[in-house]
């Protein structure tokens, strides 16, 4: 049997899965959570050492479960990596961590974005990197560290992205791949290589940057030390893999024109395949290299998608719901979405802006804040939680509308991530998009895509398209409900207008 492992380094947990290449089935999985630190407003940090500990635990759980199900330990042919994008990991010459990682949702570097835009020029930035300077990207974070943590920065010998830190711990190699590198603002996306001009303009030593590969290329082998820590076989090939969105798109089969995914994880992403590096002159969507060699993707990003529902769970959900979940073993999110289904479409005029972490598409505004608008004494918890689901979906509709405006074909929308597992959230999306939303048999997203990339990289499948054709089938279809669509069509302009009216006030906070 040919088994491939996909490892996804998420914002809240590491996930390792084992895929049987013969039938595309996930035969085992393991997960391990780790903390997120927010020491100040707009700051978001994690300890890379926590990531590695979480990865070790997730891999061991997957191998142990696989051995239990298969009667013997599965021999992993190859490993693919995926993970949260944009985070900055600095290592010294000995490969030791120099400080916490500023991760994708860290919003402290707006002044550095302004500096980059002024230094390079807004139009030139799009020309060189296909994207504008926003606080989520890596280069502004690097410059912030250079200015505010000079001792740490001067000692840095290597800059790695989060999943590539895991690659280093697994293989000892300092390497990345094109899809993740695209989100650094130091990468020539059109030509799929580091941008010497950006490094020169920003005075960032290119020696800091790792080697960069296509996503299906073998980038190293599991070292004896990592094998001893994880239970993996020393010498197991590790392929380039992909940033979470690109790998997730492979896991959803978004590898051809016309296919679009709507993924709700910590963030929310509307993702479309493109045969060319299509650009939005305003930089409101991201254009990155795809994990499919020789292709690109365009995506709109909602910063606070699943984060908004998790915040509601942690801070607003009643003790009764939490206790019920603990006693019954029911997922708390299932309890919350059952409550949300009790409220009508539109939440009786209650509108939630999910800007708890600022916002990317379409506003590019790290100062944006979350809002409940229209709250009355008649609203119940069911309205509150449904309005959160709807607010995130309005934001995803913003993203989808921009892709349509760019002329990208939209023939099929595939829902994925935690939001894709919720029938209610799929229905809300179908109603708002006024299009059918489908789900597929593969539900693991980035980890699954990473496993498929591992199979392609070691020759089990001839290319990414063949891997997806072999493993992915449509499982469900959700059609829009006309009456609900009419409600959302009425409220959507109001949702957009609330941000416009409040934008001047955000600066006063």
Q: Is 200 left (phi over 0), alpha (psi -120 to 50) or beta?
A: alpha
**3-state DSSP of 311-378:** HHHHHCCCHHHHHHHHHHCCCHHHHHHHHHCCCCCCHHHCEEECCECEECCCCCECCCCCEEECCCCC
**Interstrand relation of 268-274 and 296-302 (parallel, antiparallel or unpaired):** antiparallel
- C-alpha 317/C-alpha 239 separation (Å) is 42
DSSP string, 214-283: -TTSEEEE--HHHHHHH-PPTT-EEE--EEHHHHHHHHTT--STEEEEEEESSSEEEEEEESS----TT-
- Which residue, chain included where needed, has tokens 């402290």? 108
Q: CB-hemisphere CA count at 13 Å for 191?
A: 11
Q: State the distance between the two ends of the chain, measured CA to CA, in whole angstroms.
A: 58
* Centroid of chain to Cα 368: 20
Please say if 244 is a catalytic residue.
Answer: yes
Please say whether the beta carbons of 485 and 431 come within 8 A: yes
Spatial CB neighbours of 313, under 8 Å, sequence gap ≥ 6: 332, 333, 336
Among 8, 20, 50, 244, which one carries the catalytic annotation?
A: 244
- C-alpha 142/C-alpha 501 separation (Å) is 33
Active site positions, annotated? 244
């Amino acid at each position: 049997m040919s088994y491939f492992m996909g490892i996804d380094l998420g914002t809240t947990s590491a996930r390792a899965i084992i895929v049987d290449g013969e039938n595309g089935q996930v035969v085992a999985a393991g997960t391990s959570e780790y903390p997120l630190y927010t020491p100040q407003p707009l700051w978001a940090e994690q300890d890379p050492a926590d990531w590695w500990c979480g990865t070790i635990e997730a891999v061991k759980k997957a191998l142990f479960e696989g051995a239990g199900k298969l009667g013997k330990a599965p021999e992993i042919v190859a490993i693919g990596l995926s993970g949260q994008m944009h985070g900055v990991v600095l290592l010294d010459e000995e490969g030791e961590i120099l400080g916490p990682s500023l991760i994708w949702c860290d919003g402290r570097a707006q002044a550095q974005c302004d500096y980059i835009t002024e230094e390079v020029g807004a139009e030139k930035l799009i020309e060189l990197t296909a994207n504008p300077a926003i606080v989520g990207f890596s280069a502004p974070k690097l410059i912030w560290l250079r200015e505010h943590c000079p001792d740490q920065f001067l000692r840095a010998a290597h800059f790695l992205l989060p999943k590539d830190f895991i690659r280093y711990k697994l293989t000892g190699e300092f390497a990345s791949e094109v899809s993740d590198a695209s989100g650094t603002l130091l990468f020539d996306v059109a030509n799929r290589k580091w941008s010497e001009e950006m490094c020169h303009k920003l005075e960032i030593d290119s020696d800091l940057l790792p080697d960069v590969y296509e996503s299906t290329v073998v980038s190293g082998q599991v070292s004896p030390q990592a094998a001893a820590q994880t239970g993996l076989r020393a010498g197991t090939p590790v392929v380039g893999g992909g940033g979470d969105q690109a790998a997730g798109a492979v896991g959803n089969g978004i590898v051809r024109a016309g296919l679009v995914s709507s993924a709700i994880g910590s963030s929310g992403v509307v993702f479309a395949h493109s045969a060319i590096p299509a650009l939005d002159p305003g930089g409101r969507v991201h254009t990155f290299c795809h994990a499919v060699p020789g292709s690109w993707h365009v995506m709109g990003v909602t910063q606070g998608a699943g984060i908004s529902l998790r915040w509601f769970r942690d801070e607003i959900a009643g003790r009764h719901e939490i206790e019920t979940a603990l006693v019954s073993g029911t997922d708390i999110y299932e309890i919350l979405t059952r409550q949300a289904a009790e409220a009508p479409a539109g939440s009786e005029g209650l509108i939630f802006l999910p800007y708890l972490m600022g916002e990317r598409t379409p506003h590019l505004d790290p100062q944006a804040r979350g809002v409940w608008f229209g709250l009355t004494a008649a609203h119940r918890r069911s309205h509150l939680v449904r309005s959160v689901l709807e607010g995130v979906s309005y934001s995803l509709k913003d993203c989808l509308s921009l892709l349509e405006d760019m002329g990208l074909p939209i023939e099929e929308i595939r829902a994925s991530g935690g939001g894709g597992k919720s029938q209610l959230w799929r229905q809300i999306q179908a109603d708002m998009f006024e299009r059918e939303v489908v789900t597929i048999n593969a539900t693991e997203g980035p980890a699954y895509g990473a496993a498929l990339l591992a199979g392609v990289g070691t020759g089990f499948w001839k290319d990414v398209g063949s891997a997806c054709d072999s493993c992915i089938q449509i499982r469900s279809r959700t059609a829009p409900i006309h009456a609900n669509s009419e409600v959302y069509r009425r409220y959507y302009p109001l949702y957009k207008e609330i941000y416009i009216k409040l934008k001047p006030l955000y600066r006063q906070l």
